Amino acid sequence: MSAKNKLSLSVQYPDSRLAASIARPKVRRWVQAALLGPAELTVRFVDAEEGRVLNRDYRAKDYATNVLTFAYNDGEQLADDEPTRADIILCTDVLEREAGEQRKSVEEHAAHLVVHGVLHAQGYDHENDDEAAEMEQFERDILAALGYPDPYADTAG
């Protein structure tokens, strides 16, 4: 979580609904907060159709999901100066729906999904309970440092 990690970031808005409210400087701040080393990342905001196609074609799940991470050097032992390379896809439709269901602002939920995606890009996972607990705590810590509430707190009650 260092602001000193070298970052090459592209933020794309083929679905432009969040381009003004979730602008590039905000996304950069969230990404930088979750970085453990140098990175070359693309964060792309897409509609439900593109999200569904990507999830279907690459994960064999025929529905749009909130965030997809395509980590291109996943599992590789990186040299200290070698960047993590990944595309992080956020589906605007799912992000907005989930934010409403969870009674969170779209910004809070977007920050969480970006941090979640960046951690995935760097090898974090939640395939078992121990990994999930570690990743979720790291997300809480990063988001708290950014001034956002616990993304796992029960807000539906």
Task: Determine the pLDDT at residue 117.
Answer: 97
Confidence of residue 2 (pLDDT cuts 50, 70, 90): very low
Write out pLDDT tens, residues 79-91: 777 899 999 999 9
Tokens of residue 98, six digits: 């989930």
Q: Which domains does the chain have, with CATH numbers?
A: 7-145 (3.40.390.30)
What is the DSSP code string of the chain? --TTS-EEEEEE-SSGGGTTTT-HHHHHHHHHHH-SS-EEEEEEEE-HHHHHHHHHHHHS--S--SEEEEETTTT----TTSPEEEEEEEEHHHHHHHHHHTT--HHHHHHHHHHHHHHHHTT---SSHHHHHHHHHHHHHHHHHTTPPPTTS----
Q: Write down the pTM of the prediction.
A: 0.92
Tokens of residue 131, six digits: 């990994």
Percent of the chain with pLDDT over 90: 81
Amino acid identity, position 48: A
Task: Determine the pLDDT at residue 108.
Answer: 97
